[in-house]
Amino acid sequence: MATKIPFIYQYPYEYAQLEELSPLIRRVTARNPSGFTFRGTGTYIIGRGNVAVIDPGPLLDEHIEALKTCLKGETVTHILITHTHYDHSPAAAPLKAYWGTKTYGYGPHGAGKRDQGVLIEEGGDMDFVPDVVIRHGDIIKGDGWTVECVYTPGHTSNHVCFALLEEKALFTGDHVMGWSTSVIGPPDGDMTQYMRSLELLLNRDDEVYWPTHGTSISNVKDYVHAFIAHRLEREQQIIDCVAQGYSKIPDMVPVMYTETDPSLYGAAARSVLAAMARLVANGQVVSNEPELSLTAEYRLADA
């Protein structure tokens, strides 16, 4: 593919340790490395004394105890959730009880799709329900810090980024990461929404991104432009595959993802399905089934 995203693989860290990142930002990394989480979930702490925690992470005793220890003597006033995948929100429940605070999020898993009447299969933290429901543009004020809620559906339908206005820093969750692109898996994941959410970031003045996985991103606009170009090129790859006679997504994946570990082909197929849904919605591709799926057959609309 023509676009090369300038991925950043350096990530100096120690599990279960508090890192100082900026005057208002600290981080504790969970020991849950994988092909989807990179070195692990980075739980962010905003402020000093009276603080907010972003994405408390998975249900790992070591990580939960580390957060309790690292924040001993401080007061957690808010728990902010970017979205409800298992590596982001489950630790909110025990920590909320321990700290006696409230959780903030767009809604339960799949909330953005349910708003549209779309039911999704279980695939996330189905137990999480925010104490405070947030929407795009909402402002959350703390002791010496201010957070703006930026609704960015696509990776999930309830995905929210959080902008720390004092540092022009955006906590991007899984929306934009420095080490990898995001998996967009229908029906909760939606490529059309994801592309719109990327374009939304281009109109903002954020100067640094802090993803939940991986290190910070400073050349933010270049990154977003590269992510958009990458997705458009993937769409062209799909069109080329269909034109060459590949009618099923599982047959397209090895052709499209030549540099990807085959163990990740399942996730890649879900992203192809998300891109295919956008192509069908745009009238470029048609399916032999009313419900788009990995087993359906596809052809060019003008074929």
User: Crossing angle of helices 220-243/265-281, nearest 10°?
Assistant: 80
Read off the pTM: 0.94
Q: Residue 303: its pLDDT value, please? A: 64
Per-residue pLDDT, 35: 87
pLDDT per residue as tens, the chain (303 positions) = 478 899 999 998 999 999 999 999 999 999 999 989 999 999 999 999 999 999 999 999 999 999 999 999 999 999 999 999 999 999 999 999 999 999 999 999 999 998 788 878 778 999 999 999 999 999 999 999 999 999 999 999 999 999 999 999 999 999 999 999 998 989 999 999 999 999 999 999 999 999 999 999 999 999 999 999 999 999 999 999 999 999 999 999 999 999 888 988 998 898 899 999 999 999 999 999 888 999 999 999 986
The pLDDT assigned to 29 comes to: 98
**Domains located in the chain, CATH noted:** 18-219 (3.60.15.10), 228-300 (1.10.10.10)
* Site of tokens 């069908």: 280
Q: How many CB atoms lie within 10 A of CB 135?
A: 10
Predicted local confidence at residue 116, as pLDDT: 82
Structure tokens at 12: 């100096």
